[in-house]
């Protein structure tokens, strides 16, 4: 599978590397085609790794991953272009985190909206699936590193797109029993606002390698 | 211990009953002294149960429990009166849930504020501890009904008040290992916004008898 991964922060670089390990082709996208981190990443990751602009990465990808920071996501996706995203599964990992008041950051974009929904509204022909935004990328690329089954949420308006993303989660090593389909993309509000608790737990533990599991009666 | 429990919804009635079972005295408070549900509750719960106005319940309590709905909490606490709350542990279980747009409700009061903080600001001489707002009262009164250890968060600015609340959590049957002290009352933002995820899980499961646990590397 060809993935376009938008964003050259630790999430994009780490998840991109893991997708290469899993046998996929990955083009990492950033604002400029000669981004230093992206160049170093593609040089280090072999023949199936490449880099380019947001637009070049989105065009390359059969699936596109939004691994930009939440505050920059809409602009990055506009640079990628609606045409390059049309009909594709767009996996949105991003969280809007506002550090202007210090740590912990303010998480989310509104009580009654979410970045996932905003992206779906802005790019109605993309098939947005929100997932992997409730854990650190260290857990994303090695779910089995946690000592018990843990939860991974997904949501989106396109059932087929969610099935594809579920397959990717299984490839990454998530246990089938931990995957929770919350419903349509509006349910992204739940996972994006949960991040307000996550950042506090991360601060308390001094370690991002954790997740939640659900305990039912 | 004498508890004043403010609110005659299912949370106040159920938790009040459990506190009676545990040997405490409980006065249930509501807007009017002759509230029918409160009258029926105190008639059914024996000599240690009584009811009255918000003010009478708060005066009676050595500890006060805010079990009103989040939208009504500030007004209920004003009726209880700052004098009756002064110096007391005020256990805030409430969540602001706005059902005006249907289900799931919009949870929380703001991205950068919380009901717990608002109550502490409004009643600076009360010792507010936010806890038990992340589960249904069916779990609150029987934590052992879930088949694995699960998380209970607390936060507040007064360390002694938090110790008292931790003791109450243990009395209720929470496992010590599941209790997580998040820090000061501002951390209530994390648990109140998590409720946006909780309500979605509740809708998905069709059952409120669940909680999360934390899985750490």
Distance CA B87, CA B126 (A): 5
Please give the pLDDT value at position B113. Answer: 98
Q: Cβ distance A65 to A131 under 8 Å? A: no
E strands, chain A, where? 2-6, 25-30, 49-53, 63-66, 89-92, 97-98, 106-107, 127-131, 152-156, 179-183, 210-216
Whether this model's pTM surpasses 0.90? yes
Contact A204/B at CB under 8 A: yes
**pLDDT recorded at residue B37:** 96
All structural domains of chain A, each given as residue ranges with its CATH number in brackets, are 2-205 (3.40.50.720)
Min Cα distance A86 → chain B (Å) is 29
A163 interface with B at CB cutoff 8 Å: no
Q: Output the six-digit token pair for B37.
A: 């549900």
What DSSP line would sit under B84-125, residue for residue? HHTTSEEEE----EE-TT-SSPEESSBTTB-HHHHHHHH-TT
Q: How far is CA A128 from the centre of its chain?
A: 11
Are B167 and B24 within 8 A, CB to CB? no
For B10-53, write each residue's pLDDT tens digit: 999 999 999 999 999 999 999 999 999 999 999 999 999 999 99
Once rounded to an integer, what is the mean pLDDT over residues B113-129? 98
Residue B48 C-alpha, separation from nearest chain A C-alpha, in angstroms:
31
**Inter-chain residue contact A216 with B209, CB threshold 8 Å:** yes
pLDDT tens digits, A33-79:
999 999 999 999 999 999 999 999 999 999 999 999 999 999 999 99
Mean pLDDT per 10-residue interval, chain A, length 217 residues: 98 98 98 95 97 98 98 98 98 97 96 98 98 98 98 98 98 98 98 98 98 98
Secondary structure class of A168 (helix, strand, coil): helix
Question: CA of A138: which chain B residue's CA is closest?
Answer: B217
- Interchain contact, B106 vs A104, CB within 8 Å: no
Does the structure's ipTM exceed the value 0.85? yes
- Which of B70, B105, B110, B190 should we substitute to test contact with A (largest number of A Cβ atoms within 10 Å)? B190
Please name the member of A183, A210, A217 whose beta carbon is closest to the beta carbon of B145.
Answer: A217
The per-residue DSSP string of B65-77 comes to: EE-S-HHHHHHHH
B189 and A196: CB-CB below 8 Å? yes
B194/A107 Cβ within 8 A: no
- How far is it, in rounded angstroms, from Cα B82 to Cα B40? 28
- Residue A153, token pair as written in the block: 């949420």
């Amino acid at each position: 599978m060809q993935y376009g991964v938008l964003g050259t922060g630790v999430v994009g670089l780490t998840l991109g590397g893991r997708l290469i390990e899993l046998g996929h082709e990955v083009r990492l996208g950033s604002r400029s085609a000669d981004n230093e981190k992206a160049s170093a990443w593609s040089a280090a990751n072999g023949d199936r790794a490449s880099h380019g602009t947001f637009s070049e990465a989105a065009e390359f990808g059969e699936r596109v991953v939004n691994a930009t920071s939440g505050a920059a996501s809409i602009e990055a996706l506009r640079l990628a272009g609606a045409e390059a995203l049309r009909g594709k599964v767009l996996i949105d990992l991003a969280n809007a985190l506002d550090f202007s008041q210090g740590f912990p950051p303010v998480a989310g974009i509104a009580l009654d909206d979410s970045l996932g929904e905003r992206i779906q509204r802005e790019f109605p022909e993309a098939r947005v699936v929100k997932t992997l935004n409730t854990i650190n990328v260290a857990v994303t690329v090695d779910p089995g590193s946690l000592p018990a089954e843990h939860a991974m949420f997904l949501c989106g308006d396109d059932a087929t797109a969610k099935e594809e993303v579920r397959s990717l989660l299984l490839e990454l090593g998530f246990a089938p029993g931990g995957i929770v389909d919350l419903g349509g993309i509006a349910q992204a509000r739940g996972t994006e606002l949960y991040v307000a608790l996550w950042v506090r737990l991360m601060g308390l533990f001094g370690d991002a390698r954790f997740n939640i599991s659900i305990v039912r009666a």
